[in-house]
Structure 1
Amino acid sequence: MKLIWSPETATKAYIETVKTCEKFKESGVAELLAAMAGGWEAKLIVEAWSYGGPIGTSIGLAVAARHTCGRHVCIVPDERTRQEYIKAIKDVAAPPPPIPEVVVGDAAAAMAALGGGVDFLVVDYNRRDFGRVLRSASAKVSSRGAVFACKNAWQRNVSGFRWQWALERGTRVVRSVFLPVGKGLNIAHIGSPGGSGGVEGSRKGPSRWIKHVDQRSGEEHVFRE
């Protein structure tokens, strides 16, 4: 399946998230992920939320799901976290976004219960089971591939993190990048099962090269969008 990138949907999701999340201070994380999920035209957006964590990203993903006519599912470990998550969503200034589907339980069981293939995943490094979430999600990637994003990357040893170590064996990482947004974002484009999953062969327009400088190490990274 060819990759479709929708600048219009990305822009709409970004602008609405900016307006909705004005009172949250997540350093642009919510807006960036909303735009990415919208532009990717994600039909199944999954997030793994931690108790007491910021809710801005969840709002952005809910906005993106509305613009893509997709599903937004949140995986939480227990009933206490589920109640806190729903309360946080409802406390957003009116009008609140639609309440996402909430699945309670172990990461592997929750992923198995989703039904469809994952297009877009956001997981918090602060979750104790973040590794299990990544492995379980990599076994449920949609037929066109997926985007995986890990928040709060500064909480871990960024230089020591390797996507291939965290994902199901045989999962192909088409490309990855670390962004110093918020408390750090690790983002990877996961190839489709048994296919190329890449964008170069399906793009009609020219590729765009982006330069990113790690603000801590000063290391420069160049990747193609």
Structure 2
Amino acid sequence: MEAKIIAVLIGYIFGNFMSAMFVGKFYLHQDPTKFGSGNPGTANVGAVFGKKAGIMTCVGDLLKTLLAIGLVYAIYRQHLLIAYTGLGVVIGHCFPIMNHFKGGKAVAVMAMTTVLYDTKAGLITLLIALFLTAVMQNLTIPPLVFMLLFSFYELSKSVEAGVIFLIITGIMAYKFKKDIYDFFTGHGKRVDILYSIKKKLGILK
């Protein structure tokens, strides 16, 4: 139990380092929470300030998750603690003390956590989410479907791990609550990634 608590605490500390805020301060010289949706995350930073800033934010979130999980695993060598550390990073990212508990939605954090915990299942569910994003042209429902699929799969293998990932899914759903409401009321933002890819490849002009 002590190791699990420490794993969550270490994850929470790392989660507090908001990549969007660092990119905003040292690269953009702007506060990303004052633009767009106000969310200090990859999607908002990328939409408002461009792809480079969005990628930098995403890489930062992936890296802090990797470092937190790597540190805990190096100390304890317990696979289950990957999930507990991921939970801590998600809580820290979504409710960071350093940013007055106003954080992001933890999509990148969870992508890294799932792949590190169960690489095959993580990649498969991420591909499903990517497909749904392309078809639905939406950035809200696919991440939640991805986490639900992954959580239920892990639940079938380990109740404890499955419950942890379901808790994480619940936290993400809470952070996405406005976006979920907008989606089901027909006011959700549409993102045509296929169009963007074709345009990038020169298929469309």
Structure with the larger RCO, 1 or 2 (CA within 8 Å, 6+ apart): 2
Q: Larger % of strand: which?
A: 1
TM-score of the aligned structures, taking structure 2 as reference length: 0.29
Q: Larger % of helix: which?
A: 2
